[in-house]
Chain A
Amino acid sequence: MAGYTPATDREQAEMLAQVGVDSIEELFAQIPEEVRLDRPLNLPDGMSESEVYRFLAGLADTNLDAERIPSFLGAGMYDHYVPAIVEAIISRSEFLTPYTPYQPEVSQGGLQVMFEFQTAMSEITGLPVSNAGLYEGPSAAASAAYLAMGQTRRTGLVASRGLHPHSRETLATHAVGFGATLTEVGLEDGLTSGEELEAAVTDETAAVFLQNPNFLGAVEDIAALGEAVKAKGALLIVQVDPMTLGILRPPGECGADIAFGEGQPLGNRLDFGGPSFGFFCAKEEYIRKMPGRIAGETEDVDGRRGFVLALQTREQHIRREKATSNICTAQALNALAGMVHLAWLGKQGFVELGELMARRTAYARQVIGSLDGYELLHDAPVVREFAVRSDRAVEELLPLGDESEGPAPRLPVYPLGRDYPEYEDSFLVAITENRSVDEIGWLAHMLEHGQAGWGEHIHEHDEAGNPVAGAAQ
């Protein structure tokens, strides 16, 4: 058992004497016998630190992570290079171990980070108001719907099929509680159908959800689509990939009322899906209806500049059933990682990374789109992800090896079939600065020739966890 509890037998005896009882058991007497657990928990005995490490490292080792195989998986979370300073900063006890900054005098570090983060997110989305982060991308969609319904007193939600399928499903789940109806608008040549959108938006529509680039990677004309939304007095809500905003027109300049998204590409690990952070930016008029924490600038009694949690009267701990959201613990540490990554990229680097992705993706799209047996699912412009249709069933082209002895590793591309039955023969390919021209060549080779020679791009780790290049499986 781990040594995380300091009390020695002698100390326990002293403490019991102070309390005036003979045993700890007496303190539990208030729990009625009929609900006491009359046996030990049926869990393994505690293990030493080295044993726990070995066990979990053993499990980790069976996963085919993005250091062991070039991953072209995206769909909202991407294998970016996270600079070393991010880990150095977020590992500091002072950021890692405090609670939510309820005592601002001793939480100025965390509160100022929130303030800086809010500024950065406002800048990249082109919207004046940002909160300090939400859980992650898709649940931020639900928060946006809640705001829009409260604002418009309407119950209709409309979502493009270009909106992330997880966002759409999350909206559908929450719609039951919100008393909302959810309508979908189809895609045409990879882009949201303007005609269908216009038909779907009515006087009952609270909000329309678009995504840019959409789930198929296509860059939408948000401003043009937004006209039909504005005409009916609904809110225009856009999910954005933050890493594309170095080069794409920000949602705030396209008429969006709210922009939200998945923050993982900014400084966060893949972590098999979380924790990361969500962001939520809006027009000024929604400032008092925002979900989540917001830091604000103020002064102390001596006139020193300082930061506090602002607009707390929106929040659950004050407002209870009338709160704008139920969020308490969110993702402060992950938002810090995002802020450090953005500071590291800086004004120029953020643009350059967007340009690099757009150019490499154009290259990859050209290479893969011209392979025998494959074609592009759509010709719309893209930044970092594109959809490919295959002559063969996707399930058939994924296994990287003979499956007679059990499952073989899968080619790391995202099959569209589960989310889009209409694109069952298609998959997504995502490109980041981590995916080299060599690796794009490898992907093309795998798609064209299947199983032969796949092993040379799968790496092993050494004892320190560093990848050992070239060690074949």
Chain B
Amino acid sequence: MSEPTLTETPQQADRATTIYEKSVPGRRAAQLPPLGEGVEETPLDQLIPAHLLREEPAGLPEISEPEIIRHYNRLSRRNFDLDTGFYPLGSCTMKYNPRLNERVAALPGHAKLHPATDPADAQGALQLMYLLQESLAEITGLPTVSLQPSAGSQGELAGLLLTRAYHADRGRNPSKVLTPDTAHGTNPASVTMAGYEVVKVATNEQGGVDVEDLKAKIDDDVACLMLTNPNTLGVFDENIAEIASLVHETGALLYYDGANLNAIMGQARPGDMGFDIVHVNLHKSFSQPHGGGGPGAGPIAVSERVEPFIPRPQVVRIEGGEEEFYDLDYDRPKSIGRLRGFQGNFGVFVRSLAYILSLGGDGLSEASRLAVLNANYLKSRMSEGRSGKYLPVAFDRHCMHEFVLSGAPMKKELGLKTLDLAKRLLDFGFHPPTVYFPLLVDEALMVEPVETEAKEHLDAFAEAIEKILEEAEGDPAIAQNAPYTTPVRRLDEVAATRNPRIRQA
């Protein structure tokens, strides 16, 4: 076994130093305005009793402004990002983030608007929210949208609390929620937080819900079934109409996890499939930048029978007199209440509406069509040659916007785990696909190439995989010890959990 000979890159030689370690006593950046005429420099303990005051300043860094900029610019270069390279992270919809959206979100009328501004002075903001509500209602095929949830998982929790309120209103108190074994981890976590018991439903040979298993598990103690369609295998569940009627017959609701909405915009709508509650990830299908892990937003769309329970306040348009007026409606007696402060992640709403207006109805539909074309093209490319041999598609049929490969043959024949392949891809300048998800596929790789990626990037990705596999046929140790060129190499994650050091000593 040969270890490739490597020298340290300059970035690797530049060891991580925190901003606290760069602190020099006496340095500073901020200059604050003077107190102002007439304001006295009263000793603090004459304003607030001494025992309620801090004795020692908090341990923040002492650093000049140029040093702050340099520190964070250097840190930024230790990140891989979507603007720089292909990022086919399955289920995350890493599509281009238009810069126009950043520009309009930064307008003072948006960015500097206080959330408690009286509706009379925030008509533009409320109208913007109303337009987004209406747009998402049309895209999801459901009549009412609440923008309040902060992200997908909060949308899920909102949906489950709506489910609880809906049943309670009918004098029912079912205790279980069904989720397929392919579900995102947030689904079962949200179910528990909403006080329900998770019951898993099996997946059939086509990657859809096993209808027989569903029949066996659905009864009047089931509050709802949570589905992602297309599911996390990138497959559209053809039995959706039958599933919907099975669920509704028992009085349960049908919940749609909108993580994969990017596959079907303008093609099919969850509302038309029979879903009662849908959450939409604005940071996936609607181009809000992911920010290294947020912010996002997770609006929910609901059917008429669930509408009375949606969070408050709700943006409403009041017709009357000569002009329409947009208002915040708090008077919703059956509402589940609030999931968070104020009205939601408005800055995300601005970006998403800008995106929807830019594309229009046709453009959204075209985006989904091209996302599906890109996924099928890349899947086809990867079903050839070595990737076809070592990385077979988990469910071999046309996919929607993403597809799942199994690295099991690669592991068996080359001794390469999916993780090794992912790490070697980093040396080739690609962000790896999602790995080890969904759980039911051994050594899974989930690839979502999105519509904003050009064909040449898909080709280059397929070629890189081919190259890595070829290389591994000769010497698997190369990938097993990858990456080599990244700012740091493979990190000890076990130690970080066993003996957590989570702050500067």
Contacts and interface: CB of A to CB of B under 8 A. Distances in A.
Interface string A394-410: 00001000000011111
Interface residues of A, number: 214
Contacts of A6: 452-455
Nearest to B60: A347
B112 A270 contact: yes
B486 A105 contact: yes
Given A27-B373, A57-B107, 10 more contacts: A7-B451, A37-B268, A56-B350, A61-B124, A97-B97, A297-B501, A347-B57, A398-B118, A436-B36, A437-B39
A447 interface: no
A226 interface: no
Interface residues of B, number: 211
A118 to B, nearest CB: 5
Interface string B344-373: 111110100110111111111111011011
B100 interface: yes
Contacts of A199: none
B398 A30 contact: yes
A76 B124 CA distance: 23
Interface stretch (A203-211, A311-319, A371-379, A448-456): A311-319
18 contacts: A1-B366, A4-B359, A63-B110, A79-B114, A83-B30, A94-B84, A107-B78, A119-B59, A136-B341, A177-B161, A177-B195, A249-B55, A271-B346, A300-B490, A311-B502, A347-B60, A349-B28, A350-B60
B108 A301 contact: no
A200 interface: no
Interface stretch (B61-69, B214-222, B385-393): B61-69
Interface string A305-345: 11111111101111111110111111111101000101111
A52 B354 contact: yes
Contact of B40 (A31, A271, A359, A467): A359
Nearest to A104: B491
B493 interface: yes
B193 to A, nearest CB: 6
A116 B341 contact: no
Given A139-B154, A293-B293, A316-B185, A272 B343 contact: yes
Contacts of A170: 337-341
A297 B496 contact: yes
B328 to A, nearest CB: 10
Q: DSSP class of B's interface residues: helix, strand, loop or mixed? A: loop
B108 to A, nearest CB: 5
Interface stretch (B235-243, B246-254, B408-416): B235-243
B451 to A, nearest CB: 5
B87 A31 contact: no
B104 A62 contact: no
A75 B114 CA distance: 10
B153 A326 contact: yes
A472 interface: no
B112 A59 contact: no
A135 B87 CA distance: 25
Contacts of B107: 56-57, 60, 465
B54 interface: yes
A422 interface: no
A421 to B, nearest CB: 13
A272 B346 contact: yes
Contacts of B503: 115, 118-119, 122, 128-130
